[in-house]
Structure 1
Amino acid sequence: MILRKATDSELPIIWEILQAAIAQRKQDGSRQWQDGYPNPQSIQEDLNNGWAYVLTDGTNILAYAAIIFGIEPAYNTIEGQWLSEGEYVVIHRVATSAASKQKGIATYLFKMIENLSIENQTYSIKVDTNFDNIPMLRILDKLGYTYCGEVYFRGSARRAYEKLLPK
């Protein structure tokens, strides 16, 4: 499998994957992503900023994530405490294709992001998720992310996690 930057031509496929994830969140009873976000404009912004990444099997897009090597302003204020100060990678808008569900693809995606971070000499990953996104909470726990407290996006509290990577 290959983790690479997405191309503009892949926006329709990425949006299809995200729409399925939005529907799944709703079916699971989650409030996450039920307010018009993410949307095609947020994905276009990811593409424009170089944040849009896809995990492929060489032919098909299996997963999408916004991977940001930089500062997330919402992370400047946390009710709790981050494990580290300094440079970090942010992961947002993670979604797997319907065909990839229950196959460990999201876990594999996170491992690939960890490798990408190390390759770029960034040894901290920060991520947040809704309190009711059970699949994501399980992945973060399974991969050793530490719960650090709460951050706020669009007026809502989110669980914030960090993982320190080996140097």
Structure 2
Amino acid sequence: MQLKQATMADFDQIIDILKDGANQLAERGVDQWQGDYPSLDQIKEDVENGWAYLAVSQDNQTVGAISLVPAPDHSYDQLDGEWLLDTEKYIVIHRVAIHSNHAGHGYATKLFTEVINQVRENPEIDSIRIDTHEDNKAMQHLIDKMGFKCVGTLHGVYRKGEISYVYEMIKPDTK
């Protein structure tokens, strides 16, 4: 798996991947991403700031998208919980989706592994943070499998009445 930094030329492809992700969530009965999040403006901001990436498989297929947002992330200002590490040197994984055409091949695991490997090599980052909707069991399973620890909840940050579980991983040791 390779992460390719997205450009505005990739904008429509990112939108397609994220809309497909929203449809996958809806099919599983998960009410995440069913409103105006992620918005076109949010995706544009991700791309313009260099936070948006495409997930490219070994056979050079674009299989997914992800945003890696540097601190501070004010979505977490209302965290009901406690961070593993009190630091401003973190990144946040947001807006992750593997297109349904590429589901079932372990690409989400490979994508997270690549992010973790890149963080391991970056002296500017101490931890990785992520959150997901309380009903998104597939993402919760992936986050747990990758070694993140649940540190708390968010209430109504993305949509009124919505609960999100928040996770953190302290940067793995460099090997």
On whether the aligned pair clears a TM of 0.5, the verdict is yes
Decide whether the 8 Å contact of 1:3 with 1:53 is kept in 2. Answer: yes
Decide whether the 8 Å contact of 1:67 with 1:91 is kept in 2. Answer: yes
Q: Which of 131, 135, 141 is equivalent to 1:132?
A: 135
SS of the residue corresponding to residue 24 of structure 2 reads helix
C-alpha distance in 2, partners of 1:146/1:129? 13
Gaps of 5+ in 2: none
Show the counterpart of 1:8. 8
C-alpha distance in 2, partners of 1:78/1:19? 27
Q: 1:40 offset after TM fit, Å?
A: 2.4
Task: Give the ranges of 4+ consecutive aligned residues of structure 1 lying more than 4 Å apart after TM superposition.
Answer: none
- How is 1:31-46 mapped onto 2 (pairs within 5 angstroms)? 31-46=31-46
Q: CA RMSD in A?
A: 1.4
- The one-character-per-residue Cα deviations of 1:72-118 (angstroms, maximum 9, x if unpaired) are 11213311111011111100000011222111111111111111212
- How is 1:85-164 mapped onto 2 (pairs within 5 angstroms)? 85-86=86-87, 87-121=89-123, 122-152=125-155, 153-154=157-158, 155=160, 156-164=162-170
Decide whether the 8 Å contact of 1:15 with 1:39 is kept in 2. Answer: no
Decide whether the 8 Å contact of 2:24 with 2:100 is kept in 1. Answer: no
C-alpha distance in 2, partners of 1:151/1:14? 26
Q: 1:23 offset after TM fit, Å?
A: 0.7
C-alpha distance in 1, partners of 2:36/2:75? 19
Decide whether the 8 Å contact of 2:7 with 2:48 is kept in 1. Answer: no
- The one-character-per-residue Cα deviations of 1:2-38 (angstroms, maximum 9, x if unpaired) are 1121111111111111111111111111110011211
TM-score normalized by the length of structure 1: 0.93
C-alpha distance in 2, partners of 1:71/1:84? 14
SS of the residue corresponding to residue 125 of structure 1 reads strand
Show the counterpart of 2:54. 54
SS of the residue corresponding to residue 76 of structure 1 reads helix
Q: Across the two proteins, how many residue pairs are aligned to each other? A: 167
TM-score normalized by the length of structure 2: 0.89
Give the aligned residue type for 1:110.
F
